[in-house]
Structure 1
Amino acid sequence: MSDDRVIIFEEAGADPSADVMTIQNGGGRTRVRAVDGPEHMVGLVSRLVGEGVTQIELCGGFGAVPHAAAGRASGGKVPVGAIYYGFESLTGVASYKTRFEAGEALSEAFIIVHDGADPSIDVVVREKADGGRTTFVAVPDEAAGGQVAGKMAGELHLIELYGGSGPEGAESVIRAVDGRVPVGVSAYRRAEA
């Protein structure tokens, strides 16, 4: 079976049945979906597992408790990851959270590792009504993710790396931004026995 991954993030007024972005090629399919709030995420996870997805990743804005709920909703049938931040990013992500809650216009990027992706084509930019933007950009590997992150870092307040190989893959992105922006990386909940 080919990879069929879905990344879920939160956005006010979102339609969880609509793909914000889809990358599909010989490397499989990766889709990005949004939900209106954490309470809608669990139902979406259950539906996606029923549709046969092979992996789910959650935006760092959800946190550990919703991550655990998503893992339970998957029935242990697929890996469920969520974005977490390393020690080097804690100050920056705390600042981002404070500024976000204060209503500041912030910009972030979701860098998505998908074999065969082309970051000059596989990119979607969503302008926010209150200012700022969210950029979704697919890269073929973590090294390309580092290059993209390094170029974009000056315009961003947060980066999340999806589809990577964990800390080893995130290293190129973290080094490329050199502390200018916090970088989150996916960690996975153990499958239930």
Structure 2
Amino acid sequence: MSDDKVIIYEETGADPETDVLVIQNASGRTRVRAVGDPAQMPELVTGLVAEGVDHVELCGGFGARRHAEAVRASGGGVPVGAIYYGFESLTGVASFKARFEAGQALSEAFIIVHEGADPSADRVVLDKDGGGSTTLVGVPDAAAAAEVAGKMAAGLQLIELYGTPGPDAAEPVIRAVETAGVPVGVIAHRR
């Protein structure tokens, strides 16, 4: 396998040892895991590095401080990326955060670029107890990410884009959802 990546996000009551979604093919393996408490994330990262993953990406909800913790937990052995938001998304992500903290039902999508992924098969929708949902969807490339984002935008309040090399791949996604006002988080890396 050429790539073994894990994406980590926070979800109340989640088991950090359970894969929520697995995309595996000739291009490698991408798994999504959730932690029930952000304090569980560094230990999970340490364990994943010990088992041989070669890349970790974190949800934007962890923030810069937790990103730094993950980098330290990795021992510098693998790249650790985290979702950050560009200036064009700040108003939308601030609104999402305020609505989340107020307990509103919100829906978000994690769009995961993984070569060879099939958006119709590599998809999990997790309904939340209080309403709203988290959709995890694998796509084969940035063009497919933009297409999927555009189709989903009307029902979302947030998108996070994983598995991309940077802003060039994110730009089509941002353009696809800008009229709907959906903020898009983009992965930034640190070793």
**TM-score scaled by length of structure 2:** 0.98
For residues 43 and 165 of structure 1, the distance between their equivalents in structure 2, rounded to whole angstroms, comes to: 26
Matched, 1:119 2:114: no
1:77-156 paired onto structure 2 within 5 Å: 77-156=77-156
Which secondary structure state, in structure 2, belongs to the residue aligned with residue 63 of structure 1? helix
Equivalent residue, structure 2, for 1:178: 178
How far the C-alpha of 1:137 sits from its partner, in A, is 0.3
Equivalent residue, structure 1, for 2:35: 35
1:136 is aligned with what amino acid?
Answer: L
Q: Alpha-carbon deviations, 1:12-45, whole Å to 9, x = none?
A: 1110000000000011000000001110000000
1:116 is aligned with what amino acid?
Answer: G
Equivalent residue, structure 2, for 1:63: 63
Residue-pair matches, total: 190
For residues 165 and 187 of structure 1, the distance between their equivalents in structure 2, rounded to whole angstroms, comes to: 8
1:132 is aligned with what amino acid?
Answer: G
1:48 is aligned with what amino acid?
Answer: L
Percent identical among aligned pairs is 70
Equivalent residue, structure 2, for 1:168: 168
For residues 178 and 98 of structure 1, the distance between their equivalents in structure 2, rounded to whole angstroms, comes to: 20
* Regions of 4+ moved over 3 Å: none
How far the C-alpha of 1:165 sits from its partner, in A, is 1.6
Q: Choose 149-158 or 177-186, whichever is displaced more.
A: 177-186
**Which stretches in structure 2 are left out of the alignment for 5+ residues?**
none
For residues 110 and 124 of structure 2, the distance between their equivalents in structure 1, rounded to whole angstroms, comes to: 10
RMSD: 0.7
2:68 is aligned with what amino acid?
Answer: A
For residues 186 and 112 of structure 2, the distance between their equivalents in structure 1, rounded to whole angstroms, comes to: 11
For residues 127 and 109 of structure 1, the distance between their equivalents in structure 2, rounded to whole angstroms, comes to: 12
For residues 37 and 60 of structure 1, the distance between their equivalents in structure 2, rounded to whole angstroms, comes to: 14
Equivalent residue, structure 1, for 2:3: 3
Which secondary structure state, in structure 2, belongs to the residue aligned with residue 81 of structure 1? strand
Equivalent residue, structure 1, for 2:54: 54
> Between Structure 1 and Structure 2, which shows a larger proportion of helix residues?
2
